[in-house]
Structure 1
Amino acid sequence: MTTYPEEFLRVIIPFGKLFSKPVFKHVKLMLAGAIPAPGKRTVSALLCIVGLSREKKFHKYHRVLSLACWSAQKASLVLLTELLKCFLPEGPVIVGIDETLERRWGRKIEQRGIYRDSVRSSNSQFVKSSGLRWISLMLLVPVSWAKRVWALPFLTVLAASERYNQGHGKKHKKLTDWARQMLLQLNRWLPKREIIAVGDSSYAVIDLLAALAGKVSFITRLRLDAALYEPLPLRREGQVGRSRKKGKRLPTLTQVAQQADTEWQRIVFSHWYGHKEKCMQVATGRALWYHSGKPPVAIQWVLLRDPEGKLGTSALLSTDLTLTAEQSINYFVRRWSIEVTFQEVRAHLGVETQRQWSAKAIARSTPVLLGLFSLITLIADSLQGQGKLQISQAAWYEKKHPTFSDAIACVRQLLWQESSFCMSAQKDDMVKLPRGQLLLFQQALTWAA
């Protein structure tokens, strides 16, 4: 009988209500195998790492992803609830939304498309890659023992390509359509919490911001030449005709930045990009952002200028008019941790190494691996409370705070040590292991590449 550490079960048990008992038994074993597995995160690799390479009914584990009846959306809600309970029991919920490309090839992967590869592209080179485009919603929350903000994924959806939708007679949904649905779903899950979302310039769209007005606040980049207007004037008594949508046209932010009478405030940000201290000049104001045929959106704009001249002038917008300029900038800077998470799940959790062909398995495997990042963080937080979270050190590299590589290493160590493998006292110089377990360790190390 397989045994699991208490810290692992405490995080996994809340998901048990989403599965039948036989399926949940397989889910626990697959998650326990996905954490220590090196290299590819295929179902076969998970079975091998937990010692089930001779399992004749291996198809049961494949069916967890391809056939079993369970809701990924409900699993996202459970994961979000656990993350908030652990890291953010009260206060505004700051979430980041961004998309990433999972490079995949093969004719049997139906929703595969050709997209711009942001990792391989640059300002002077445009690179396209074949793959699946995922949009992920992550909780941007400070992790006390890491001394920085981590992006913890909890809801990820597959955004099919326009060519795929046209070929299957489906209406194509843009990134902003997916973002609207995901953020409104989050608002339904957390009706009593203030939600602030941050995203890059892809989400600076009037239709999206108008749809979220009054439900989810949004902070994103703003074009310096955006058409801004004064707030809507009050309707006069006895006025004939329909009400105006906007007031007088305001100068563009480019013009505002060049005006001599613009009031700039110097603010020192202690957590700038790269977790460095940075002094910036900031100017702010309120306006209506409007385009013909679109609903006007009330925003607070923030201009940023580098006194050292190393960074170009840029602008942000916030649909929450109560936030200060400093708060808006600090929340937006948290978005950088999303890119870190995407890199970590590729380096440590095997994203882009899956080999599923079933449409349902494809739609489930990548969100599960992204969610595994958050699960490992929850387990690591429990280990930190017990003083078991260690930091890898070397003579040539001093690390002050744990990173995700330390977190997953300690969780892996927990799974190995607490699985009834040890046959002698822990304080002895020599520890005896069953021969089968020793061979399993050897196989995992020798075939790691």
Structure 2
Amino acid sequence: MSIIGAFTPVFSRRVWPHVQLLLIGAILTLGQRTVTAALRVLGLADEAQFVTYHRVLHRARWSNLHTSRILLRLLIHTFVPQGPLVLGLDDTIERRTGAKIKAQGIYRDPVRSSHSHFVKASGLRWLSLMLLVPIPWAQRVWALPFLTALTPSERFHQQRGRPHKKLTDWARQMLRQVQRWVPDRPLVVVADSAYTVIAWLHDLQQHRPIAVITRLRLDAALYEAAPERQAGQMGRPRLKGKRLPTLAARLADVSTTWQRVQVVRWYGEGSRTVEIASDTAVWYHTGLPPVSIRWVLIRDPLGKFAAQALLSTDVQLAPLQILEWFVQRWQLEVTFEEVRAHLGVETQRQWSDLAIARTTPVLLGLFSLITLLAHERWKDTEMWVRRAAWYDKTLPTFVDALAEVRRALWKVETFRTSPTADDLVQVPRSLVDRLTDALCYAA
């Protein structure tokens, strides 16, 4: 309750008790994350006023932004009390169909598609902002979602006569919102190539800059910085200087100076040695504003992956730091997979527009909340890691964190799980332990 109670100001006194039960039910439920499934696992299948719990999602007055702000503060206080905040930005498709789901669209399926094969998916597109933090007991970086927004397709806005907001527009709005929440902390954003957009990068450098790390094309037009304007010089100020060789040309140039570095964690693997070259430049395209960047060219000495390039809008960052932060972006994909496998994303069945806009962000935020709850539990108790003779697991994963929280909830009689009868059945403890283990680790 020290963690869950932080969200009390978001809800009214009438709604808050129902919210707590739905939250516990969502953690304990196996399979579909529906309101009725949460009520069943809490022993409330005979609750005549079950519609009251549905109203929490489609009618009650509470703010997603308010809950996101509280969750972010809890995460910062627990895992990153000082230093820059490294944020991961990515979108995902929730596969949903139905005539009443108004915001659904047709998108490229990022999981099933490849460079040569295009697969479409029907559903809802969500843009999620996650905090990349080191988890002490997991001994690795996790991506913890705290702010998620529904981003409808261009056709959706055209049919309703509204101006279309691109993913970059949503991303800029979300990042500026976070900057208002934590004005005293520098922000670093890690994103994929969909956000390698000059205008978007330039906008984030105005007023209070937000550093962005993303991919860069090998054929991008790079220039020297514009020369200083002389006194009395006529004409418009120059935006760029002399044209520089492309990164593809630098890659083929034998005179390029390479530095061999070791990345501690390379996309979920162990440490890996790569070679990098870096410098500063101005990225410019006709009709667009110039952006000062630090580029980092990466190649594998063993030739196992193709050469690639990164950019950082903070030119003061060290090249190795840019690479290490960008590699952490892989954790966003891990989180998306975890919430689908263990928290029931894509199994909810709400049709109301407001309920749809609330449920998926809540389930994504539940990943972060469970991480906080497990962290609080393991402060005073020994870590529980599920082992087997064929799987010598030493460090807990999210599955173990979820099982720890479930194990704690099953031991507390805070809800009705059986009829109030006084007849008792003796069950061997070994059987109870096996049943508890199966329940806690079930999806």
TM-score range, shorter chain: over 0.9
**Inter-partner Cα distance in structure 2 for 1:283 and 1:184:** 32
Residue 49 of structure 1 aligns with which residue? Answer: 41
Deviates more, 1:407-416 or 1:388-397: 388-397
CA contact 2:42–2:415 (8 Å) conserved in 1: no
Which amino acid counterpart does residue 163 of structure 2 have in structure 1? K
**Inter-partner Cα distance in structure 1 for 2:113 and 2:199:** 28
Q: CA RMSD in A?
A: 1.8
Q: How does 1:36-435 map to 2 (within 5 A)?
A: 36-213=28-205, 214-419=208-413
CA offset at residue 153 of structure 1?
Answer: 0.1
Report how many aligned residue pairs link the two structures: 425
CA contact 1:300–1:321 (8 Å) conserved in 2: yes
Q: TM-score, normalised by structure 2?
A: 0.93
CA contact 2:43–2:415 (8 Å) conserved in 1: no
Which amino acid counterpart does residue 358 of structure 1 have in structure 2? S
CA contact 1:389–1:407 (8 Å) conserved in 2: no
Residue 419 of structure 2 aligns with which residue? Answer: none
Deviates more, 1:178-187 or 1:341-350: 178-187
After superposition, the Cα gap between the structure-2 partners of 1:376 and 1:293, relative to the gap in structure 1 and judged at 3 Å, is same
Q: Deviations over 1:218-245 (max 9, x none)?
A: 0000000001110111001110111011
SS of 2:8's partner is helix
CA contact 1:94–1:197 (8 Å) conserved in 2: yes
**Inter-partner Cα distance in structure 2 for 1:421 and 1:248:** 71
CA offset at residue 11 of structure 1?
Answer: 1.2
SS of 1:389's partner is coil
CA offset at residue 281 of structure 1?
Answer: 0.6
**Inter-partner Cα distance in structure 2 for 1:21 and 1:310:** 58
CA offset at residue 419 of structure 1?
Answer: 2.3
**Inter-partner Cα distance in structure 2 for 1:272 and 1:306:** 12
**Inter-partner Cα distance in structure 1 for 2:58 and 2:75:** 27
Quote the sequence identity (%).
56
CA contact 1:380–1:389 (8 Å) conserved in 2: no
**Inter-partner Cα distance in structure 1 for 2:381 and 2:116:** 48
Which amino acid counterpart does residue 352 of structure 2 have in structure 1? S
Q: Deviations over 1:392-441 (max 9, x none)?
A: 0000001110000000011001000022689xxxxxxx9969xxxx9xx9
Residue 5 of structure 1 aligns with which residue? Answer: none
CA offset at residue 271 of structure 1?
Answer: 1.1
**Inter-partner Cα distance in structure 2 for 1:379 and 1:199:** 28
Runs of at least 5 residues in structure 2 that lack an aligned partner in the other structure: 417-423
After superposition, the Cα gap between the structure-2 partners of 1:126 and 1:244, relative to the gap in structure 1 and judged at 3 Å, is same
CA contact 1:184–1:215 (8 Å) conserved in 2: no
Deviates more, 1:210-219 or 1:101-110: 210-219
CA contact 2:95–2:123 (8 Å) conserved in 1: yes
Residue 24 of structure 2 aligns with which residue? Answer: 32
CA offset at residue 389 of structure 1?
Answer: 3.0
CA offset at residue 122 of structure 1?
Answer: 2.2
CA contact 2:371–2:401 (8 Å) conserved in 1: yes
**Inter-partner Cα distance in structure 1 for 2:243 and 2:117:** 37
> 2:13 aligned with 1:16, yes or no?
no
Which amino acid counterpart does residue 152 of structure 1 have in structure 2? L
**Inter-partner Cα distance in structure 2 for 1:410 and 1:389:** 8
SS of 2:323's partner is helix
SS of 1:140's partner is strand
CA offset at residue 202 of structure 1?
Answer: 0.3
SS of 1:21's partner is coil
**Inter-partner Cα distance in structure 1 for 2:22 and 2:302:** 52
SS of 2:378's partner is helix
CA offset at residue 297 of structure 1?
Answer: 0.5
Superposed structure 1 runs of 4+ greater than 4 Å apart: 430-433
SS of 2:281's partner is strand
**Inter-partner Cα distance in structure 1 for 2:305 and 2:415:** 55
Which amino acid counterpart does residue 379 of structure 1 have in structure 2? L
Q: TM-score, normalised by structure 1?
A: 0.92
Which amino acid counterpart does residue 394 of structure 1 have in structure 2? A
**Inter-partner Cα distance in structure 1 for 2:101 and 2:415:** 40
After superposition, the Cα gap between the structure-2 partners of 1:77 and 1:256, relative to the gap in structure 1 and judged at 3 Å, is same
After superposition, the Cα gap between the structure-2 partners of 1:48 and 1:320, relative to the gap in structure 1 and judged at 3 Å, is same
Q: Deviations over 1:347-391 (max 9, x none)?
A: 000000010000000000000000000000000001111124300
**Inter-partner Cα distance in structure 1 for 2:412 and 2:35:** 23
SS of 1:38's partner is coil
SS of 1:391's partner is coil
**Inter-partner Cα distance in structure 2 for 1:421 and 1:23:** 17
**Inter-partner Cα distance in structure 2 for 1:388 and 1:120:** 40
SS of 2:3's partner is helix
Q: Deviations over 1:168-217 (max 9, x none)?
A: 11111111111111111111111110100000000010111111114210
Runs of at least 5 residues in structure 1 that lack an aligned partner in the other structure: 1-8, 423-429
